[in-house]
Amino acid sequence: MISRRWSRRLGVGWRPTPATQPRFGRWRISTYADGEFEQARRLYATLVELCATDDALEETALTIRHAMSSFQLKDYGEAYKGLMIARASKQDDFEVNATLGHLEYIRKNYKRAIGLLKPAVSVDPEHAPSRRYLGLSLYRMKQFEAAAPHLSFAVDQDPADRDTIYALARSYDGTGSASRALKLFTHLRADPRLVAHSCLAAGSIHLNQQRYDEAIADFRIGLRHQDAPVKVALELRYRQATAHLRKGDVADALREWESIREAAPSYRDVPALIQHYREIAANRHLQVFLVGRTPDFVNLCKQLALTYFPDATTKLGNVSVVGDEYVDVMADVTTSSWDDQILFRFLRTSGDTGEMVLREMYAKLKELRVGGRGVCASAGSYTIGAQSFVEARRIDLLGKRELVRKFQRLGTPQAAAPRLRAATSTARIPRRGDAPRQLRGPGLAAPDSAGRSHWSRLR
């Protein structure tokens, strides 16, 4: 306890702290208790200096009080220095750990903040600030499951703390509790500071759930907010374009990408997307093939299979749809000189197709026992490994250039999709034992880097 002698010399009042409140030490100066932190800090600084000449003064307790006065004055650097000195001799002190943990959070040292705040919370689980900053630190470290209970406790203590509510919603989203997260994000739309961020998060959840109309509605609400940060506004528009694209609305997606390019010409992969999807928007068949509805894509694949060998009689068999990845179509093809079963695989991609996809296709051909004959078509290209794999196997590769040529035979998509009819042909498909001069026909893919014909290499 501060002596009356020093109290008289400093001209300050003193009063003991109840023993039930150990976090404030054995005593405190009345100016600190009354909220006069600037005056209290000056007095504590004087007392710390006098510790060298008076053994009655408790230097660690005075250092803590001086640091806490600095903390209350938002002089975080001075507070941090004092508390670090005090913690060297009082590592289990609740107030030191709780305040240092808060300061480490401010300094963005989230891992150190967690190490300090966990002991503080174990001492006083009801201390809302410690639970809040522990939860926020865990959230920043992406430990969402551990963060959620602490953040939930802090929100219960202060329902008006929108930043903590936002962190709790993001933690729920990170742990797979999308419905809980959506409720909180919807609630946060009333906060002008967080409306854009909340709409971005809610729209992203709906986008992942394939609820594209709801996602677009969320993104539009966020974009209507004039004070949205530039980066958030750009991402809102980018993800809105993604939602339009997944719905198959390429024109709407292009419009959003163009808006992004006007504001930020090099934002993410927007220039490449514009270039790529402009071509798709100009070709309705290519648009259906890559981003159209699955039923439309399947119908287009059937038409491609039917018309792949002109003037042949083609009867379609089993059709297998594997998600949004590819469609397999079995076909019986008959001409005046040959007949065979062909497996068509239509890959819904505009990227590079590797060897593994073709290995899986070849394994399926062997299981079906159709002689190992197949056609693989994509709107992209094939890796060197993929092209090498089919050199000794009867699988024809069609890339984007050859696929677009095939589309030209179909007319408009409206005429091509509804009715599937077989045609007759005098064209030949190469068969084992044919003479070399018979191995090329008008129905086979022309060799190029993206789509190559390998029928002539059959053994």
Q: pLDDT tens for residues 252-263?
A: 999 999 999 999
Distance CA 64, CA 25 (A): 9
Residue position matching structure tokens 């509605």: 217
* Tokens linked to 397: 């590769």
pLDDT exceeds cutoff 70 at 61: yes
Q: Are residues 332 and 307 in the same domain?
A: yes
Task: Indicate the residue among 282, 308, 328 that finishes a domain.
Answer: 282
300 and 276 inside one domain: no
DSSP string of 346-393? EE--SSEE-HHHHHHHHHHHHHHTSTT-EEEEESSEE-HHHHHHTTTT
Alpha-carbon distance of 115 to 101, in angstroms, equals 8
Residue 254 lies in a domain: yes
Query: Which residue, 251, 282, 313, sits at the end of a domain?
Result: 282
CA distance 94 to 83: 12
Res. 42 pLDDT band, cuts 50 70 90:
confident
390, 370 contact by CB (below 8 A): no
Query: Are 430 and 333 part of one and the same domain?
Result: yes
Q: At what angle do helices 128-140 and 94-106 cross, to 10 degrees?
A: 40
Based on the fold, state whether residues 417 and 383 are members of the same structural domain: yes
Mean pLDDT of 3-12: 43
pLDDT of residue 412: 62
CATH of the domain at 399: 3.40.1350.10
pLDDT exceeds 70 at position 53: yes
Q: What is the rounded distance in angstroms from the CA atom of residue 252 to the CA atom of residue 250?
A: 5
Q: Answer yes or no: do 240 and 307 share one domain.
A: no
- pLDDT for the residue 310: 84
**CATH value at residue 274:** 1.25.40.10
pLDDT exceeding 70 applies to what percent of the chain? 81
141 in any annotated domain? no
Same-domain pairing of 193 and 242: yes
The CA-to-CA distance between both ends of the chain, in Å, stands at 100
Q: Is residue 344 part of a domain?
A: yes
Helices (H), 51-177: 59-72, 76-87, 94-106, 110-123, 128-140, 144-157, 162-174
Cβ atoms within 10 Å, residue 268: 13
Beta pairing partners, 326: 322, 347
Percent of the chain with pLDDT over 90: 57
Compute the distance between CA of residue 380 and CA of residue 396 in angstroms, rounded to an integer. 14
**Is residue 207 in a domain?**
yes
94-105: burial string, b at 16+ Cβ within 10 Å, e else: bbbbbbbbbbbb
Residue 190 sits in the same domain as residue 226? yes
Q: Which of 226, 248, 282 is the last residue of a domain?
A: 282
Enter the DSSP assignment of 314: E
For residue 298, give Cα distances in angstroms to 322, 324, 347, 405: 11, 11, 11, 19
The Cα 362–Cα 171 span in angstroms is: 44
Number of Cβ within a 10 Å radius of residue 350: 18
Nearest Cα neighbor of 40 from 32, 48, 51, 28 is: 32
Written as six digits, the tokens of 129 are: 């600030």
- Examine the domain organization and report whether 243 and 313 are in the same domain: no
301 versus 440: which is more confidently predicted? Answer: 301
Asked whether residue 381 is domain-assigned, the answer is yes
Residue 336 confidence (pLDDT): 81
Question: In this predicted structure, which of 15-19, 176-180, 193-197 has the lowest mean pLDDT?
Answer: 15-19
Note the pLDDT of residue 433. 44
CA atoms within 13 A on the CB side of 149: 5
Angle at 96 between CA 94 and CA 101, to 5 degrees: 95
- 33 pLDDT band (50/70/90 cuts)? low
Residue 146 has pLDDT above 60, yes or no: yes
Closest C-alpha among 28, 33, 23 to residue 44: 28
What number of helices (H) and strands (E) belong to the chain? 22, 9
Say how far apart CA 212 and CA 375 lie, in whole Å. Answer: 34
Provide the residue range defining the domain that includes 261. 177-282
Number of domains composing the chain: 2
158-178 average pLDDT score = 95
Do residues 277 and 298 both lie within one domain?
no
Residue 383, in any domain of the structure: yes
153-159 LR contacts (CB < 8 Å, sep 24+): 153/128, 154/128, 157/128, 157/131, 158/128, 158/132
The verdict on residue 140 lying in a domain is: no
Based on the fold, state whether residues 307 and 257 are members of the same structural domain. Answer: no
| 238 vs 9 pLDDT, higher one | 238
The answer to whether residues 278 and 320 belong to one domain is: no
- Give me the pLDDT at residue 94, please: 93
Give the DSSP H or E segment for 179: helix 178-187
**Cα angle value 424/406/387 (rounded, 5°):** 110
Residues 257 and 385 in one domain: no
Cβ atoms within 10 Å of 286's Cβ, excluding its own: 22
419 pLDDT band, cuts 50/70/90, is: very low
| 121 domain residue, yes or no | no
* 109 phi, psi to nearest 5 deg: -95, 75
Per-residue pLDDT reduced to its tens digit, 366-378: 888 766 689 999 9
